[in-house]
Each structure stands twice: as structure tokens, then as C-alpha cells.
Structure 1
């Protein structure tokens, strides 16, 4: 009997030890059961309420800018008071690192705006996107895809319909590598000059070919040479696509040296930038260093869909 009593005493001592994680959970469960009654008067709870507004960032509505045209919205953040209190209540002291945040949605979204071309993402979002228009340059695609894979970066390739028809395996390879694909017309016409019927035909035909080759539906349209008129944007919108332009042009088709290309991009790049590229020798040779320099500026690189998404990047 004495041995049993000693064993029980030891067990109880271990159980009620301050460092015992089971005790902390037990205390937390007891506190949770009385939380509705006690939290309103708890100084810790009141401190979280008092401090919450200092961490709040309001959401930003999508809008049409006089210079940059359509700009996507961006989520705000606020403190989740109940969740933050729950994380801090065991120790009973305010700890900024234990604050829990939730994102708040804007009231106006990109889809609510009238059909307008998009030249950049939200200026507060520390992300950029590469827009790679493909109608030629097959010999450089493998190297570019290898570099993107090395850096674990996904981008958006805008495929010409005729090119995709002739190179379905390359189109599949792009999608299999985790990249997004968009519509770059069928035969690279000047979209500002062709009729509405021809423009619609160019887009529909390309969408069908890309979906047949890759299984992906296009939600973004990039007009060849950046040439379009308002009607072009409306037609794309009717077909379920937003029209995408660019913020920074590599002008890689002029065959600049890697240093010239990199300096051109890095002197202009910032939050929300969309960088126009093609599969060229200049871009293939610049891509590795360019990605490294962009990431050193604390900018993420993502697809057009990721850049346009309202999700806030929390660092």
C-alpha cells in the first residue's frame, strides 16, 4: 500500500508540474470553458482590442487608373481578436508574435470593372509576373524552362494558336512544367485593324487549339505587338478572357546583350510589374541572373493569375 501511495504522489507531482504540456492543455480547456464570462474583463483581452487597430490595413478596391487602366484589388488585414487571445491566454501576457491575422476582401473586384486592358498588378503587392509571348523561338524554350525550374518559378506563356497547332508537344511541356498559358491570337494579326468577327475568330480558334493540346482553358489574352482597340478587349471579355499588356518591355527581339536587357528591366521593375519577354537568345541568357536580382529586391515571381489575385502576401 505504501508503495502504491508513493507512486500516486509522484504521478500527481509530475502531472501538476508547470512544465508539463498536458497541464497547460488542461488549464487552457478550463479557461476556454469560462472564456465567454471572463474575457471581457481580462486586461489581456482589452489590450488586444486596444492594439488591434494599429495593425489593421484596409483592403484596396479594384479600379480603373487614368494611366495604368485596370488595377486589381488587394486584400487588407485585421487582427482576429478571439484567436489572438486564445494563443496568448495560457501565459497571460501580450505577445505581438502571437497575433492572428485575417484578410479582408475589397468591395470592388477586377471582374466588376468594365472591360479594360491590364498593364500591371496592384502597386502594394510585392510580386511580378513574366509574360512570355510564343510564336517562334522554339530553340530557346528548353533552356528557359530549365532556368525557371531551377528557381522554382511559374510564369505565364501566351501561345499563338498556329504555333500551338504545329508544336503541341512543346505546349504540353510548358503546362507540365507548372506554367500558365494564355491566348496570343491565332496568326499574330494587328488586332486594332481587323474586324470584330475576325478578332473573335482568332481568339476562339486559339482557345480551342490550346485546350485540345494542353487541357487548359485560357483566361488571359495578350494582343500581338500590344495592338488593340476597345472592341478587342470587349470581345475577349465576352469569351471569358481579360486583356493583358505589360509594364516593362525587355525589347528582347532586338537582340540586346544580357547586361542591357537586365539593366532595362531592373531599372523599371517594382511591385505589380508585368515583364514582357519572348523565347530569344537574349532572354535565355539573361533569365537566371534576372530572376536572382528580382528576388533580391524581395519581389516574388508568379503567373498573371497569381499577380491579379487579391490575396495579400504576408511577410
Structure 2
């Protein structure tokens, strides 16, 4: 009878775990798939953060929908003498070319965020290249500088996407601190979430059209600077040569014997 009870408990525990995992993936959606991607050691990974002893981090803004807060963001960044990275979608570039030029002239990185904002893991190599090249050419035409940073829409990627981006001259960039500003939970939740989770080498995700961005951004910058962090563009944070990306998505310098 005891053996039957133990086995029964084991079966019930297994069922509970399977149900929990299934429900979690149902609600997590793309983010759940992203977590599994990072944990899968056989999967090519983008750069989520950088291994550095320096107190340097990068903050970034994805720009796909709207422009009403972008001027205000640039004014705040000027006030605190901070340079960041903006990832732009092709149709956003088409709609706001003067803003693209302004972002560039103020010294911020401009990265590629695709042409039409699709789930790029579902595209062919040819379609991926088209998404990258169309937007890259638009950005270069305005700024006279080809972008080298690429962020996949929705954080959605696979080996083919990362390999194709690399072949087209791009470092694929994710983030290790998600502000969740798109959830519109208010100012303080964003400030707390970001400042509590950053570490040396972190990459923070914001959105240029988030509802409270003009309120939370100065508070985040002030707190990070007070804690001794230097905020730099992603192009200055990442390692350009002789690196590898570990199973957590952290970019690390290669050692001489590797």
C-alpha cells in the first residue's frame, strides 16, 4: 500500500508540473519561447547583455508606432548628457525621416528593427535579407551611415535569422532588462523594475511611444547615474571582435586559448 501511495504522489506531482508548464507557455507566448531559446545550448543566441567589470549599461528604444514623445525623449537625453540606441522599423523611417536625421545628429545609435515588423523566425533567408536591407538602406540614405545593430521584432528569432543578420553585417541585439513600459502600469513600476534589475553590461528595453516615457525616463536616468552607472549606446557596450555568447545570452570576450 505504501508503494502505491508513493507512486500516486509521483504521478500527481508530474501531472501538476506538466499542467503548470503548459499554462505558463500559454500565457507567456513569445516571451516563453524566448526563455526556452536562451536555455537551449544548441541554439544560436543574440546579445542579451555584455560581460564587463565596468559600470556601463545601455538603454534602447524600439520605434515602430507613433512619434509624439520622441522629441521629448531627445530633450531628456540631452539634459542628462546620455547617448542611447533607437531601433527603427522601415515604415517608421518612411513616416518620420526628419526625426531619423535628428536622432542621428544628436549622436545616438540607430539600429535596424526590420522593414514591416514581422515574426522573422517564420521567414525565409531571402525574406529576412529583404527586411534587413530595405530598412538598412533607408537609414543609410538619411544618415550616410549603415546600421550594424539589429533587434528582431517581438524578440522572435531562430538560428537562421541570427546567421542571416550576421551575413548582412549585423549584431543581433536583445535585452536583459525589459521595462514593460508597453503595459502602461504607471511611472513607478517602470522605474523600480529597471533600477532593481540592471547590472554591469545590461541592455534595457524601452519604447519611444510608451505612455509614461517622459515621466519615467528622467527618474530612471537619475537613479542609474546616482548609482554610478555610465549609460552608453549599444555600439559602445558590445564587443565587436573575438567574442562568444554563452548559454544565458551574455556576450563575453574570447580568451587566448579559445
Query: Which residue among 278, 285, 305 is the counterpart of 2:235?
Result: 305
Structure 1 contact 156–181 (Cα < 8 Å) conserved = yes
SS in 1 for 2:117: coil
Structure 2 contact 44–158 (Cα < 8 Å) conserved = no
Structure 2 match to 1:164: 93
Structure of higher RCO (CA pairs closer than 8 Å, 6+ residues apart): 2
In the alignment, the residues of structure 1 paired with residue 192 and residue 122 of structure 2 have an alpha-carbon distance, to the nearest angstrom, of 34
Structure 1 contact 253–278 (Cα < 8 Å) conserved = yes
In the alignment, the residues of structure 1 paired with residue 228 and residue 188 of structure 2 have an alpha-carbon distance, to the nearest angstrom, of 21
In the alignment, the residues of structure 2 paired with residue 285 and residue 68 of structure 1 have an alpha-carbon distance, to the nearest angstrom, of 35
Structure 1 match to 2:223: 293
Question: More displaced, 192-201 or 229-238?
Answer: 192-201
Structure 2 contact 50–201 (Cα < 8 Å) conserved = yes
Structure 1 match to 2:135: 206
- Evaluate the alpha carbon distance shift between residue 309 and residue 195 of structure 1 in structure 2; reply closer, same or farther with a 3 A threshold: closer
Residue 221 (1) aligns with residue 221 (2): no
Give the ranges of 4+ consecutive aligned residues of structure 1 lying more than 2 Å apart after TM superposition.
66-69
Structure 2 contact 101–142 (Cα < 8 Å) conserved = yes
Q: Could you list the runs of 5+ residues in structure 1 that have no partner in the other structure?
A: 1-65, 70-113, 311-315
CA deviations 1:46-66 (Å, max 9, x no partner) are xxxxxxxxxxxxxxxxxxxx9
Q: How many angstroms does 1:171 deviate by?
A: 0.3
Residues 217-296 of structure 1: pairs in structure 2 closer than 5 A: 217-279=146-208, 280-296=210-226
Per the normalisation by structure 1, the TM-score is 0.61
Structure 2 contact 61–86 (Cα < 8 Å) conserved = yes
CA RMSD of aligned residues (A): 2.0
Per the normalisation by structure 2, the TM-score is 0.74
In the alignment, the residues of structure 1 paired with residue 139 and residue 53 of structure 2 have an alpha-carbon distance, to the nearest angstrom, of 33
In the alignment, the residues of structure 2 paired with residue 201 and residue 290 of structure 1 have an alpha-carbon distance, to the nearest angstrom, of 36
Q: How many angstroms does 1:123 deviate by?
A: 3.9
- Equivalent residues, number: 202
CA deviations 1:15-58 (Å, max 9, x no partner) are xxxxxxxxxxxxxxxxxxxxxxxxxxxxxxxxxxxxxxxxxxxx
Q: How many angstroms does 1:276 deviate by?
A: 0.3
Q: Could you list the runs of 5+ residues in structure 2 that have no partner in the other structure?
A: 1-36, 241-258
Structure 1 contact 181–216 (Cα < 8 Å) conserved = no
Query: Which residue among 101, 119, 131 is the counterpart of 1:190?
Result: 119
Structure 1 contact 154–302 (Cα < 8 Å) conserved = yes
In the alignment, the residues of structure 2 paired with residue 265 and residue 220 of structure 1 have an alpha-carbon distance, to the nearest angstrom, of 22
Q: How many angstroms does 1:169 deviate by?
A: 0.4
SS in 1 for 2:46: coil
Structure 1 contact 261–282 (Cα < 8 Å) conserved = no
Q: How many angstroms does 1:67 deviate by?
A: 5.5
